[in-house]
Amino acid sequence: MKKATATRERDPNTRLRRVEGRHNALVKELRRAFSRGELTSDGYCAIEGFRILEEAIRSGLRLRAVFFSESTATRAERLLSQLGAQVETLLLPDKLFSGAVPSYAPQGVAALARWKELPLEEALAKSKAGPLLVVAGVQDPGNLGTILRSAEAFGAGGVVLGEGTVSPFNPKVVRASAGSVFRLPVARAKLSDALALMKEQGLRMVATASHKGTPLDQAKLSGPLAIFIGSEGAGLSRDLIKEMDEVVAIPQAPQVESLNAGVAASIVLYEVMRQRK
């Protein structure tokens, strides 16, 4: 009885259920989702940080459970007021929390959030609202997060992630996207399948290149459009380049080999938005 009383005195909010065992089912699911960087079998991903969790709530994602570390429990009240009564809220000792969350500097809050990944056909249908962005083999989580953030900022209709691209559920991607990944229509697909559907729907396919191609400000970027962004090192494969209707180049100093994939995507998306306005 004394132990239960002490626990209530330490907890700033009675909604927080204290968990001390690393074998708790929800803690194990959180740890597994973070380590794999993929959805759980029932469609939840792991997210971390106060700002990211607020973005998830603002974006309407359904939360299964929210985890607070003991040292940050006093900051929990603001978030708890935004959570529905059906969301489990757990208080973890700092050591247990840091063992489940991969961040080098965890902020003391994490969650399991329901995330709907779109079929390819649904993502392509979104191209009517704005350009479709196709990412082929970008492996750096920070780059993909930047691309997704810029895609939302500059009005992309949807995003297709080809094989070899880092998972959008990777916690570093989620953090770098600043919540944009929650709101964008995102699909993962084989690019061969995506190409066939894009041609059927009359999308004009445009690739980006480092130096060779139509200067970006001279390219026609209006109408139904799919923009292809290649990997950081190799760019787009020759086979993909052959399928393109046009290759555009961002003017840059000749001694610079190439731009960061996230930067290149952002510049091209901005130019698309500028031309369409």
Q: Could you tell me the residue ranges of all domains in the chain?
A: 2-114, 120-276
Asked if residue 2 has pLDDT above 70, the reply is: no
Instruction: Tell which CATH classification among 3.65.10.10, 3.30.420.80, 3.10.310.30, 3.40.1280.10 matches the domain 120-276.
Output: 3.40.1280.10
- Under the banding of pLDDT at 50, 70 and 90, the label for residue 226 is very high
Amino acid at 174: V
Crossing angle of helices 261-276 and 141-153, in 10° steps, is 10
Q: What is the pTM of this model?
A: 0.87
pLDDT in the model for residue 104: 65
Q: Token pair for residue 150?
A: 């810029």
Are 11 and 91 contacting, i.e. CB atoms less than 8 angstroms apart? Answer: yes
pLDDT at residue 84, as a whole number:
80
Q: How confident is the model at residue 229 (pLDDT cuts 50, 70, 90)?
A: very high
Question: Given 3-state DSSP classes, what are the helix, strand and coil percentages for the chain, each rounded to the nearest 5?
Answer: 40, 20, 40
Each residue's pLDDT tens digit, 82-120:
888 889 999 999 999 999 998 766 789 999 999 888 899
Measure CA 74 to chain center.
Answer: 29
CATH for 2-114 (3.40.50.300, 2.60.120.650, 3.90.1640.10, 3.30.1330.30): 3.30.1330.30
Mean pLDDT of the chain: 88
Q: What is the pLDDT of residue 105?
A: 63
Percent of the chain with pLDDT over 70: 94
